[in-house]
Amino acid sequence: MTHVIAQPCIDVKDKACVDVCPVDCIHGKDDDPMLYINPADCIDCTLCVDACPVTAIFAEEDLPEEWSNYTKINADYFAS
């Protein structure tokens, strides 16, 4: 499993989650609308969940249904 960043991060991009990630799997450029978690690198440590000030990060299995498309959005960011 992996963690997923969802809609609450859009236009916020507080990088507290980046600072606590031990495997550097959270990325986003300045012009991206949000940050993204690389599912191939995420080790499910949960440190980012507590660090996120807008509650935008969820374990994949706990992602609210209305944001289920963010699993693909996060993965697609790293595909290529």
pLDDT band at 1 (very low <50, low <70, confident <90, very high): confident
Across the range 9-14, mean pLDDT stands at 96
The per-residue pLDDT for range 39-71, each reduced to its tens digit, is 999 999 999 999 999 999 999 999 999 999 999
pLDDT score at 59: 97
Residues with Cβ < 8 Å from 10, sequence gap 6 or more? 33, 34
- The rounded distance, in Å, linking the Cα atoms of 11 and 62 is 22
Q: What is the pTM of this model?
A: 0.95
Q: Give ∠ CA 36-41-45 in degrees, rounded to 5.
A: 90
Q: Taking 80 as the threshold, does the pLDDT of residue 80 lie above it?
A: no
pLDDT band at 25 (very low <50, low <70, confident <90, very high): very high
Delineate the domains of the chain, giving CATH numbers in brackets: 3-78 (3.30.70.20)
